[in-house]
Amino acid sequence: MTDRFRITLAQMNPTVGDLAGNAALARQAWKQGCAVGADLVALPEMFITGYNTQDLVTKPSFHQAAIAEVTQLAADCADGPALAIGAPWVEGEKLYNAYLILKDGKIASRVLKHHLPNETVFDEVRIFDSGPLGGPYVVNDTRIGSPICEDGWHEDVAETLEETGAEFLLIPNGSPYYRNKIEVRFNHMVARTVETGLPVIYLNMVGGQDDQMFDGGSFVLNPGGALALQMPVFDTAITHMDLERTPDGWRAVDGEKAHLPDEWEQDYRVMVESLRDYMRKTGFSKVLLGLSGGVDSAIVAAIAVDALGAENVRCVMLPSEFTSKESLDDAEAVAKALAVHYDYVPIAEGRSAIANTLAPLFAGYGEGLAEENIQSRLRGLLLMAMSNKFGEMLLTTGNKSEVAVGYATIYGDMAGGYNPIKDLYKTRVFETCRWRNANHRPWMKGPSGEVIRPNVIDKPPSAELRDDQKDSDSLPDYPELDAILDILVDRDGSIADCVDAGFDRDVAKRVEHLLYISEYKRFQSAPGVRLTPRAFWLDRRYPIANQWRDPS
């Protein structure tokens, strides 16, 4: 009986729908496992298809092609270690989220996911069938239990595997990021090892997929919860780890323990990596954005440069007669600090032409919001024209506070293909700018040092669509607004909860009203990466036509 079992953990970045490309990544990991004499090479949940596939995986021709790709992978990897890979699986009329064990040229074993998550970004109950509670599979005379992702968060699957002879747990995951989730995962896995007395290997994928960022951070625990191995967050990594047989059972040999950054660095890297992956996976290489001199466009410009490099970022200032010299100077300073291409496109002439065109229709009506929004929509039109002409994806720059209460112009500054700060409240935008000025990391393609000058961060925010306009003319000050939104959105609280927290009821009701009437704007907004468990889109799905208001 062997006294050592070697596993190659492949924390890798699949692309949804790229079956051949994902299989090639699996072969790459398998070859590295071969080179070090691994017994098993392990890949994350649903790796062959990429994850989260949503309804794509229910398309028969797609899941049949995925299973065929895995079958070919088994044949290609016949001579060497076993290969464990997440994939769809069909039995009869049922479609499963499965973990397939490839050995000796065939699919030797399969595990079917039992607990199907049906909250936040996941709809697995409507996509997959639930598999039965099962026992371990065998690789080289060693019995391994593999709860699939959500199954690892429930004690029944792990306990069943322990009771039926599993000697350690290898848990493949497609677990997307939200702030401080690493601690949540760690606590669940400690519970599994305490309950079963078995080592736990937690393997997570990396990479961006639409609004989700899979952050890796794979780790290994010995019984009792002692950390034996910590892989890095966000980085693709292939790590070889050993288990040794002891009188008390298998124990993981201590390995490297990567540093885990704080939440500010994690959030910033999520925004950078998600944009980088979104571009790569949708076929774009360059972006452009309107640079207003304000804090939101400044941080989006910094994110874009850190993700793609300055040579792939175009910033455009589109001033009107309401644009202050301060904003012009600030925008130019940010562009120079980031070393991006910078265009200056005044909109006064176009705005005048539109005003003249509409003058007969608008005669007798005073100027107001319609005229203000013409400026924003004209900017959107010009930016989209440049996007079409130059083949550059337009980035939108609305923060979560603005997205929540609709303080943005639909078909104007909301126009674009991706929004890196969609789930970042305005108060966190300010602090993120300060963090980026003070920190630089090897994964950033932009320059070190101060890239957003302090005046951009410290001046009162303004849309500059009329004389002397301030955001505070239309909204509560951002610290108050964000605190109320945290209660109503992130904590799903009530008006009474806002009052109990010390906020004026009328102010809270006004914020609630703006939140509900802006649903139609969010429905048409660009995707943006998820930083919290209550991001707008899949985490929070509300009707557009909605007359209910909290009576408390």
The string of pLDDT tens digits covering residues 253-274 is 999 999 999 999 999 999 999 9
From 149, 315, 433, 498, the catalytic residue? 149
State how far the Cα of 114 lies from the Cα of 171, in Å rounded to an integer. Answer: 13
**Overall average pLDDT of the 545-551 stretch:** 92
For the record, the structure tokens of 138 come out as: 């065998």
Architecture of domain 4-260: 4-Layer Sandwich (3.60)
Active site residue 149: yes
Residue 1 has pLDDT above 60, yes or no: no
Tell me which residue has tokens 């009707």.
Answer: 543
Q: Can you give the pLDDT at residue 321? A: 86
The pLDDT tens digits of the residues spanning 353-378 come to 999 999 999 999 988 888 888 999 99
Q: Encode burial over 464-474: b for 16+ CB neighbours within 10 A, e otherwise.
A: bbbeebebeee
CA distance 282 to 210: 10
Report which secondary-structure segment, H or E, holds 4.
strand 4-11
Size (the chain), residues:
552
How far is 459 from 294, CA to CA, in rounded Å?
9
The domain 264-466 is placed in CATH, from the list 3.40.50.620, 1.10.20.10, 3.30.1360.40, 3.20.20.80, at 3.40.50.620
Place of tokens 């007395």: 197
| Sign, CA torsion 275/278/280/285 | negative
Q: In whole angstroms, give the CA distance from residue 219 to residue 216.
A: 9
Q: DSSP characters for 386-419? A: HHHHHT-EEBP---HHHHHHT-S-TTTTT-SSB-
- Residue 256 has a CB neighbour count (10 Å cut-off) of 11
DSSP strand E in 306-348: where? 313-317, 341-344
Dihedral of alpha carbons 482, 486, 489, 493, sign: negative
- Expressed in angstroms, the distance from the first to the final Cα of the chain is 67
Q: Which of 69, 77, 103, 113 is catalytic?
A: 113
Mean pLDDT to the nearest integer, 502-515 = 96
Q: Which residue has the tokens 């610290």?
A: 479
Domains of the chain by residue range: 4-260, 264-466
Half-sphere exposure of 92 (CA within 13 A, CB side): 4
Residue 467 confidence (pLDDT): 74
DSSP strands (E only) in 253-366 = 287-290, 313-317, 341-344
Averaged confidence pLDDT in the chain: 95
Query: Does the structure show a pLDDT above 90 at 456?
Result: yes
413-424 pLDDT, tens digit per residue, is 999 999 999 999
Q: Is the pLDDT of residue 146 over 90?
A: yes
Cα–Cα distance measured from residue 357 to residue 237, given in angstroms and rounded to the nearest whole number: 59
User: What is the number of other CB atoms lying within 10 angstroms of the CB of residue 90?
Assistant: 15
Query: How far is 299 from 288, CA to CA, in rounded Å?
Result: 13
Q: Which residues contact 271 (CB under 8 A, 6 or more apart)?
A: 303, 420, 421, 424, 529, 531
Q: List the structure tokens of 87.
A: 């994939």
Residues 156-179: tens digit of each pLDDT: 999 999 999 999 999 999 999 999
pLDDT band at 552 (very low <50, low <70, confident <90, very high): confident
Q: Please give the helix or strand (H or E) that residue 239 lies within, else none.
A: strand 237-246
Q: How many CB atoms lie within 10 A of CB 257?
A: 13
Q: Indicate if 69 belongs to the active site.
A: no
CA-based nearest residue to 417, from 269, 284, 267, 272: 284
Share of the chain above pLDDT 70, in %: 99
Choose, from 45, 69, 150, 402, the residue flagged as catalytic.
45
Backbone angles phi, psi at 267, to 5 degrees: -60, -45
Q: How far apart are CA 435 and CA 424, in angstroms?
A: 14
pLDDT in tens, 293-328: 999 999 999 999 999 999 999 999 999 888 889 999
pLDDT at 464 over 70: no
